[in-house]
Amino acid sequence: MTGKFITLEGIEGVGKSTNTDFVADLVKAAGHDVVVTREPGGTPLAERLREIALHHDDEPVPALAELLIMFAARSLHLDNLIKPAIVRGEWVVCDRFTDATYAYQGGGRGQDVERISALEGWVQTGIQPDLTILLDADPEIGMSRAAQRSAADRFERERQEFFQRVRLAYLARADKYKSRFRVIDAAQPLDKVQENIRTVLNKEL
């Protein structure tokens, strides 16, 4: 028996965390066991790497180091949580995965896509999400929603142009991998966004 792997993606503040829980509830209601997780993070050690990636201001984190931290965390996450859950037949619902690396480290920071792709092949050994929900909205909307919460992390202090590049990289991924991506307009009110997500999931379930 094998489970499924669903990821939610998008720039900050578009509603990934809110809708990760919503997706998990829909999957549970359909009778599946669900593991809800996030990246970077998801296991105790990977969460420690998340802290380094998001909150360390005492030493510069060069773009290559940042890229490697993302994949080191992902390797722990895959081996210690995601793969075992899928093998047990559970559905994994994950707030961000490798598309975020292409969008942030590739589109945002300008890291070479070939390099990201090599790391992806090495770390994931063929594992890909079955479904990726891309919540898409203008960075201005996401930033204004996110600003109402806790203090900004290293990424959230980036300028709007950075998030424009990230958004475009996400949309390019969605265009390239049409069979697994579903793009939802996250500028809509939450009830409309969730209506769209329900429609997408009903087809999967």
User: Where does the chain show beta strands of DSSP type E?
Assistant: 5-9, 34-38, 91-95, 131-136, 181-185
Q: Is residue 189 close enough to count as binding ligand Z5A by CB under 6 A? A: yes
126: helix, strand or coil: coil
Q: How far from chain centre, in Å, is Cα 195?
A: 20
> Which is nearer to ligand Z5A, 19 or 85 (by Cβ)?
19
> Which is nearer to ligand Z5A, 90 or 194 (by Cβ)?
194
**8 A C-beta contact, residue 41 and residue 73:** yes
Q: Is residue 52 close enough to count as binding ligand Z5A by CB under 6 A? A: no
Q: In the window 17-36, what residues touch ligand Z5A (CB under 6 A)?
A: 17-18
Please identify, among the stretches 29-37, 82-90, 100-108, 110-118, the one whose residues bind ligand Z5A according to the rule CB under 6 A: 100-108
Which of 3, 5, 7, 12 is in the footprint of ligand Z5A by CB under 6 A? 12
Could you count the other beta carbons within 10 Å of the beta carbon of residue 78?
22
> Which is nearer to ligand Z5A, 123 or 193 (by Cβ)?
193
Phi, psi for residue 6 in degrees, rounded to 5 = -115, 135
Q: Is residue 16 close enough to count as binding ligand Z5A by CB under 6 A? A: yes
